[in-house]
């Protein structure tokens, strides 16, 4: 059976809390602590597992936080290849301010990985990947990681007959030279690569179509917050509105989007269905507090209900069925 294999170069132990109000120069009393495995690819693996896919997570792990990260991943029933590294795994911290209903997210940079440690990650990818797999490279790169890291990973996947999906802000230019199956960008990243602000959806769609035509890329996925998303390919472009929900936390929503997309594409769905499935996975995670990911039944319900929504009738928040 084909698998979704995730490669995370800079994973994190995600810690989230709630507090009455975030104020400067004061000791803040926190409650509702949560600790979950995190980092782009790790979250993609967690989400894809919840959606019923066979998954494997490949990531570096160092120190006590690395041990905790690996243990939490294994507790979720996710197969993994944890590459032992010298430096400690980073943490990421999120605080929810109940007074303002704002979320404050702090991401540490992580530690530099040595050449042999980076090589071990890529070697694990090469030994595990098989024809028909989908390999997802996701998240930031550790400090001083060579810019061609994702390009090297994409080359390995391609040589094995797998499809490489990339969701990152580091090393994407080099990876595009190598060639990708799918690249995912959000609205801030879209303006950065375009060099200007693009009106949604017309200018964004035009840019996306041209981008796919002029790069070694099969699909470009763009997400635009409350405006929804689109998938551009050489055969055209499909768009879908976001699914309006009451937001509890944004942690993991983008990774859930990628997981929903890849799971749907792997089972043979068309781009329109895959986009709807990805947006439903993101919306379901937005509804969950802290670092908690979605409930799979909620994704199915939201995906079905998404067919009923349009931008004109999406003003009222979605109320989950109980």
Q: In what order do the strands lie in the sheet with 4-7?
A: 79-84, 55-61, 4-7, 134-138, 163-167, 180-186, 217-223, 229-233, 236-240
Report the catalytic residues. 255
Question: Residue length, the chain?
Answer: 322
d(CA 100, CA 53) in angstroms, rounded, equals: 38
Query: Distances in Å between the alpha carbon of 10 and those of 100, 146, 166, 299?
Result: 31, 13, 14, 27
Query: Distances in Å between the alpha carbon of 78 and those of 4, 6, 235?
Result: 11, 11, 35
Closest CA to 122 of 86, 143, 159, 150: 150
d(CA 230, CA 242) in angstroms, rounded, equals: 10
Closest CA to 219 of 257, 163, 171: 163
Ordered alpha helix ranges (H), 231-270: 253-266
d(CA 6, CA 149) in angstroms, rounded, equals: 14
Which two structure tokens, joined as six digits, stand for 99? Answer: 């007074």
Place of tokens 């042999």: 116
H-helix or E-strand containing 44? Answer: helix 40-50
Residue 204: partners with Cβ closer than 8 Å, 6 or more residues away: 190, 198, 222, 224, 230
> Cα 218 from chain centroid?
19
């Amino acid at each position: 059976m084909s698998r979704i294999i995730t490669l995370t170069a800079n994973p994190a132990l995600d810690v989230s809390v709630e507090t009455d109000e975030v104020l400067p120069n004061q000791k803040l009393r926190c409650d509702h602590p949560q600790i979950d495995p995190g980092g782009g690819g790790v979250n993609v693996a967690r989400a894809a597992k919840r959606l019923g896919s066979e998954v494997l997570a490949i990531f570096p792990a160092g120190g006590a936080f690395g041990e905790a990260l690996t243990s939490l991943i294994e507790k979720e029933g996710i197969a993994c290849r944890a590459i032992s590294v010298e430096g400690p795994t980073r943490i990421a911290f999120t605080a929810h301010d109940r007074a303002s209903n704002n979320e404050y997210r702090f991401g540490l940079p992580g530690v530099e990985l040595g050449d042999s440690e980076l090589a071990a990650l890529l070697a694990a990818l090469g030994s595990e990947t098989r024809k028909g797999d989908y390999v997802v490279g996701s998240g930031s790169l550790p400090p001083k990681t060579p810019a061609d890291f994702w390009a090297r990973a994409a080359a390995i996947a391609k040589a094995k007959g797998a499809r490489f999906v990339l969701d990152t802000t580091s090393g994407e230019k080099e990876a595009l030279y190598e060639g990708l199956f799918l690249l995912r960008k959000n609205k801030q990243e879209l303006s950065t690569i375009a060099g200007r602000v693009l009106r949604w959806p017309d200018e964004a769609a035009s840019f996306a179509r041209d981008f796919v035509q002029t790069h070694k890329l099969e699909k470009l996925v763009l997400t635009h917050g409350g405006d929804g998303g689109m998938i551009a390919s050489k055969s055209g472009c499909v768009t879908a509105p976001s699914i309006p929900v009451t937001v509890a936390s944004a942690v993991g929503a983008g990774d859930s989007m990628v997981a929903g997309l890849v799971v749907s594409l792997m089972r043979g769905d068309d781009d329109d269905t895959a986009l709807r499935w990805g947006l439903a996975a993101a919306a379901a995670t937005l509804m969950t507090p802290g670092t908690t990911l979605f409930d799979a039944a909620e994704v199915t319900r939201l995906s079905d209900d998404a067919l009923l929504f349009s931008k004109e009738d999406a003003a009222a928040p979605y109320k989950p069925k109980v």
